[in-house]
Amino acid sequence: MGINTIFDIASSGITANRLAIEVTGENISNVNTEGYSRQRVVMENKPVSTANGFALGTGVEIAAVQRSYDNMLQLQLVNANSTYQESLAQQSALEQIEPSFNSLTSDGLGTAVANFFGAFQDLSVNPSGSAERQAVLTRAQIMVDSFHQLDSSLTSVASTADNNLVGITAEVTDNARNLALVNTQILATNSVGGNANELLDQRDLLLRKLSEQVGVTYSVANDGTASVTLAGGAQLVSSTRYATLYTNATGAPVTNDIMISGLGSPPPANAPATDTLVGTVGDGATVGGKLGGTMEVRDSIVPKYRAMLDEMADEVVTQVNTLHAAGYALDGSTGNDFFDAAGLTSGSIALDAGLSAVKIAAGFPTATDPAPTSSGNNENALKIANLGSTSFAFSTGSATFGNFYSSLVSQVGVDTEGTQNVTTQNAAFLKQLNALRASNSEVSLDEELLNLTRYQRAFQGSAKVVNAATDMLDIVLGMVR
């Protein structure tokens, strides 16, 4: 081994530790960068040489600059993100709905229905009383308004969810396009033998962001590019090409269908999808993520509660109108509806346009009181009052109006609590996964500062070897002189 070999060995140490210091500095500077994975330098002995019968080392070389990365953990994070965001979207909507239904109080629908039938009970005590008749009209309108208020609350939640779909689909498309761009950059970097670690970090971050918005599965090719498939089966990103997710307003009332274009020929990352082959992403239960959860709010949760409200409104209108039309009003008329016969939903229920205090049919002819319009005839008022305690066949089983509404309120409460519990569990699991990722991949300043000191000392040591070799060379040259 000659002096030149010593120079080469020391130079390799200087080069390797300089690069290690650069990587450490990169880690430190990105300590607060979202999605950044810390990197480490892998050093190896350079090939051994033989001199004078001895196998001697020739220095050190950089084998690789590795990311601290766990592929299985990334996969779990992608799945957990989708599950959490889906339940969170449902929880947010249910927490808006529940206060409207939490109304077994004095101003709720349950009380309004009970007071309405109670007003007919009061009317039966004094069938010709103007105050009692006016009370029936007032209580009836309060009940109608309560139905409308609940219907309006559900409409508002569904409308908000529908409007949110526009922004969510735009975010999905943006992230898909950005992923296709990153894939393009990864290929370009690999083609010149560059280090694509930070591009791979961007790729993984985009996958996690996509999974928050919509359920996805993904695959990573040997070249480092990622392809993404929606939970419904449509291809969203294929290497450097991507499809476009968008909304299409249809129907009456207008709602947003979720469409995907670019299925036939996905465009490159720098161009939008323009091909004519389009499809839908499926229903909320299969879509997943915030998009799926929001679709479930609009298409499943709100319609379920509205159907129960409509069923109750329909039964109230039908039962009261049937009895009221058979009775007689103070002016002797009969066959009069109490409610508008066409208003059979919670949003359309209304008092009949021709109804007035004098038109309320409190009387009904009996053997003991054949004069249905007499001041003391209360038979029909009693019949209508008794509807409040009569059980009817609802979709959930036989129940009184009060019990049916109580079961609806309970259902909303159970659904809300159940979703809150699921969201809490999902959040805890996601927090645990993020903590594992932080431990595995994020930068520790304490560790990096220790590494910096270690590499700095090694650099200084290699520099001293250069100085020693220089002194040796000077001595040799001096001997020659």
Please write the tens of the pLDDT for every residue from 434-444: 999 998 888 88
> What's the rounded Cα separation, in Å, for the pair 246 and 165?
9
Q: How far apart are the first and last CA of the chain?
A: 23
User: Are residue 235 and residue 273 in the same domain, yes or no?
Assistant: yes
> Does any domain span residue 114?
yes
What's the Rg (C-alpha) of the chain?
Answer: 38
pTM of the model: 0.86
Domain end point (choices 286, 317, 348) = 286
Assess whether 279 and 208 both reside in one domain.
Answer: yes
pLDDT digit string (tens) for 12-50?
A: 888 889 999 999 999 999 899 899 999 999 988 888 776
In a domain, 366, yes or no: yes
pLDDT band at 328 (very low <50, low <70, confident <90, very high): very high
Structural domain contains residue 293: no
| E strand or H helix that includes residue 54 | strand 54-56
Percent of the chain clearing pLDDT 70 (strictly above): 90
Residues 258 and 356 in one domain: no
Same domain as 213, residue 80 = yes
In this predicted structure, what is the pLDDT of residue 83?
Answer: 96
Q: Can you give the pLDDT at residue 466?
A: 78
Distance CA 405, CA 128 (A): 32
> How confident is the model over 96-112, as a mean pLDDT?
82
Domain boundary among 286, 310, 341: 286
Q: Average pLDDT for residues 189-194, to the nearest whole number?
A: 90
For residues 336 and 419, membership in a common domain is answered with yes
Parent domain of 40: 3-68+444-480
For 446-463, write each residue's pLDDT tens digit.
Answer: 898 999 999 999 889 888
How would you class 270 by CB atoms within 10 Å of its CB: exposed for 0-12, middle for 13-18, buried for 19 or more? exposed
Identify whether residues 80 and 200 lie together within a single domain.
yes
Same domain, 147 and 187: no
Same domain, 184 and 146: no
Question: Would 92 be classed as within a structural domain?
Answer: no
Residue 474 lies in a domain: yes
Q: What is the pLDDT of residue 277?
A: 54
Residue 20 lies in a domain: yes
Domain count, the chain: 3
Structure tokens, 126: 């004094």
Q: Which residues, in sequence order, are CB contacts of 372 under 8 Å at separation 6+?
A: 327, 328, 334, 363, 364, 365, 379, 380
Cis peptide before 253 (omega within 30 of 0): yes
Q: What is the pLDDT of residues 464-481, one digit of tens each?
A: 887 887 777 767 777 766
Task: Verify that 311 and 457 share a domain, yes or no.
Answer: no
- What pLDDT does 189 receive? 93
Taking residues 229-250, report their average pLDDT.
87
Q: Residues 180, 200: contact at Cβ < 8 Å?
A: no
Specify whether 259 is located in the same domain as 346: no
d(CA 286, CA 306): 23
What whole-number distance in Å separates Cα of residue 185 and Cα of residue 224?
10
Residue 93 is assigned to a structural domain of this protein: no
Q: Are residues 310 and 406 in the same domain?
A: yes
105 belongs to a structural domain? yes
Q: Which of 251, 286, 321 is the last residue of a domain?
A: 286
**169 and 152 share a domain?**
no
